[in-house]
Chains A and B, each alone.
Chain A
Amino acid sequence: MTELWQGLIKAIQLIVTFDPEVMEIAGRSLAIAATSCSIASLMCLPLGSLIHFSRFAGKRLLINLLQTLYSVPTVAIGLFVFVLFSRAGPIGGLGLVFTPIAIVIGQALLVTPIILGLTISALSGVDKAVTETAISLGASRFQAIILTIKEVRYAILTAVIMGFGRAISEVGISLMVGGNIKGFTRTITTAISLETSKGDIELSIALGIILILLAMIINFALNRLQQR
Chain B
Amino acid sequence: MSLIETINLGQQFDRRYVLKEINLKIDKGEVFALIGPTGAGKTTLLRLLDLLEISSSGTVYFDGVDVTRSQRHRLEARRRMSFVQQKPIVFTMSVYDNIACGLRWRHEKDQTIRQKVESVLELVDMAPYSSRNAKTLSGGETQRVAIARALIAEPEVLFLDEPTANLDPASTAKVEEILAHIIREQKTTVVMATHDMSQGQRIASRIGVLMSGEILQVGTPNEIFCLPSTKEVAEFIGVENILNGIVIEKDANLATIEVNSSIIQAISDYAVGDRVYVIIRPEDITFTLAKDTSSARNVFKGKITRTTPVGPLVRIEVDCGFPLLGVVTKKSAEELELSIGKEVYTSFKATAIHTIKRWNQ
* B82 adjacent to A137 (CB under 8 Å): yes
Counting contact residues on chain B (CB < 8 A from A), the size range is 20 to 34
Counting contact residues on chain A (CB < 8 A from B), the size range is 10 to 19
Which residue of the partner chain, among A130, A132, A135, A138, contacts B91 with CB atoms under 8 Å? Answer: A130
* A129 adjacent to B89 (CB under 8 Å): yes
**Chain B residues with CB under 8 A of A138:** 78-79, 82, 102, 105-106, 153
Question: Which of B52, B79, B92, B150 has the largest count of A CB atoms less than 10 A from its CB?
Answer: B92
Give 1 or 0 for each of B81-111: 1 = CB within 8 Å of chain A CB. Answer: 1110101110111000000011001100000
Interface residues of A in 119-160 (CB under 8 A from B): 127, 129-130, 132-140, 143, 147, 150-151
**Chain B residues with CB under 8 A of A130:** 89, 91
Which residue of the partner chain, among A127, A129, A137, A151, contacts B105 with CB atoms under 8 Å? Answer: A137
* B102 adjacent to A137 (CB under 8 Å): yes
Give 1 or 0 for each of B56-92: 1 = CB within 8 Å of chain A CB. Answer: 0000000000000000000100110111010111011
A117 CA to B244 CA, complexed, in Å:
65
* B75 adjacent to A140 (CB under 8 Å): yes
Indicate whether B5 reaches chain A with its CB closer than 8 angstroms.
no
A137 CA to B85 CA, complexed, in Å:
11
Indicate whether B50 reaches chain A with its CB closer than 8 angstroms.
yes
Q: Shortest distance in angstroms between A53's beta carbon and chain B's nearest beta carbon? A: 15
**Chain A residues with CB under 8 A of B82:** 136-138
Indicate whether B42 reaches chain A with its CB closer than 8 angstroms.
no
**For chains A and B in complex, what number of residue pairs have CB atoms within 8 angstroms?**
54
**Chain A residues with CB under 8 A of B153:** 137-138
**Which B-chain residue is minimally distant from A129 (CB atoms)?**
B89
* B85 adjacent to A129 (CB under 8 Å): yes
Question: Which of A133, A137, A150 has the largest count of B CB atoms less than 10 A from its CB?
Answer: A137
Which residue of the partner chain, among A133, A140, A151, contacts B85 with CB atoms under 8 Å? Answer: A133
A136-B105 contact in complex given A130-B91, A147-B91, C-beta closer than 8 Å: no
**Chain B residues with CB under 8 A of A129:** 85, 87, 89
Indicate whether B149 reaches chain A with its CB closer than 8 angstroms.
yes
**Chain B residues with CB under 8 A of A139:** 101-102, 105
Q: Shortest distance in angstroms between A100's beta carbon and chain B's nearest beta carbon? A: 38
* A136 adjacent to B91 (CB under 8 Å): no
A127 CA to B88 CA, complexed, in Å:
11
Q: Shortest distance in angstroms between B93's beta carbon and chain A's nearest beta carbon? A: 8
A127 CA to B135 CA, complexed, in Å:
14
**Chain B residues with CB under 8 A of A137:** 82-83, 101-102, 105, 149-150, 153
Interface residues of B in 137-195 (CB under 8 A from A): 149-150, 153, 159
A130 CA to B85 CA, complexed, in Å:
11
* B78 adjacent to A135 (CB under 8 Å): yes
**Which A-chain residue is minimally distant from B106 (CB atoms)?**
A138
* B83 adjacent to A134 (CB under 8 Å): no
**Which B-chain residue is minimally distant from A139 (CB atoms)?**
B105
A137 CA to B78 CA, complexed, in Å:
8
* A140 adjacent to B52 (CB under 8 Å): no
**Which A-chain residue is minimally distant from B159 (CB atoms)?**
A136
**Which B-chain residue is minimally distant from A142 (CB atoms)?**
B105
**Chain B residues with CB under 8 A of A132:** 52, 85
Q: Shortest distance in angstroms between B150's beta carbon and chain A's nearest beta carbon? A: 7
A138 CA to B83 CA, complexed, in Å:
10
Which residue of the partner chain, among A127, A136, A147, A151, contacts B52 with CB atoms under 8 Å? Answer: A136
* A140 adjacent to B105 (CB under 8 Å): yes
A137 CA to B149 CA, complexed, in Å:
8
**Which A-chain residue is minimally distant from B50 (CB atoms)?**
A136
Question: Which of A130, A135, A151 has the largest count of B CB atoms less than 10 A from its CB?
Answer: A135
A147 CA to B93 CA, complexed, in Å:
11
**Chain A residues with CB under 8 A of B92:** 150-151
**Chain A residues with CB under 8 A of B93:** 150
A133 CA to B92 CA, complexed, in Å:
13
* A133 adjacent to B88 (CB under 8 Å): yes
18 A-B pairs within 8 Å (CB atoms) are namely A127-B89, A129-B85, A130-B91, A132-B52, A133-B83, A134-B105, A135-B52, A136-B50, A136-B78, A136-B82, A136-B85, A137-B101, A137-B102, A137-B150, A137-B153, A138-B79, A138-B105, A151-B91
**8 closest cross-chain pairs (CB), A and B:** A136-B83, A138-B79, A137-B102, A129-B89, A139-B105, A133-B89, A143-B105, A138-B105
Known: A133-B89, A136-B50, A138-B102. 20 other contacts (CB 8 A): A127-B89, A129-B87, A133-B91, A134-B91, A134-B105, A136-B52, A136-B78, A136-B81, A136-B82, A136-B159, A137-B102, A137-B149, A138-B82, A138-B105, A139-B105, A140-B75, A147-B91, A150-B91, A150-B92, A151-B92
Binding site for B on A (CB under 8 A): 127, 129-130, 132-140, 143, 147, 150-151
Binding site for A on B (CB under 8 A): 50, 52, 75, 78-79, 81-83, 85, 87-89, 91-93, 101-102, 105-106, 149-150, 153, 159
